[in-house]
Amino acid sequence: MEKNGLIARKKTRFVTTTQADPNHRSALWVSDITLIPTDEGNLYLAATMDLWSRMIVGWAIRESMQKSLVQQAFDMAVQQR
């Protein structure tokens, strides 16, 4: 290798740049909105999912997409769990 001018490359070591806070609880619920087109117009469905069980724990459906739509799905999730 030296005769041909070749140099071995060392692998770079993975460095952890963030430290998890053991006192901080991670989020287990996520929400999303999807559009459902129908013959009579569009509907918006908001669902809240529990990431641990992967179950839908709250949902709401409306004809308009407003932030209260997600709030309603979250409120249902709180009541269910």
| Residue 70 belongs to some domain of the structure | yes
Cβ atoms of 34 and 23 closer than 8 Å: no
| Residue 21 belongs to some domain of the structure | no
pLDDT in tens, the chain (81 residues): 888 888 888 888 878 777 778 787 776 899 999 999 999 999 999 999 999 899 999 999 999 988 899 999 999 999 987
What is the pLDDT at residue 67? 85
User: Which structural domain range is residue 43 located in?
Assistant: 29-80
The Cα–Cα gap between 27 and 43 comes to 28
* Number of independent structural domains in the chain: 1
| Residue 9 belongs to some domain of the structure | no
| Residue 19 belongs to some domain of the structure | no
| Residue 17 belongs to some domain of the structure | no
| Residue 59 belongs to some domain of the structure | yes
| Residue 15 belongs to some domain of the structure | no
What's the Cα-to-Cα distance from 55 to each of 4, 39, 48, rounded to whole Å? Answer: 60, 29, 9
What is the pLDDT at residue 12? 81
Cβ atoms of 30 and 54 closer than 8 Å: no
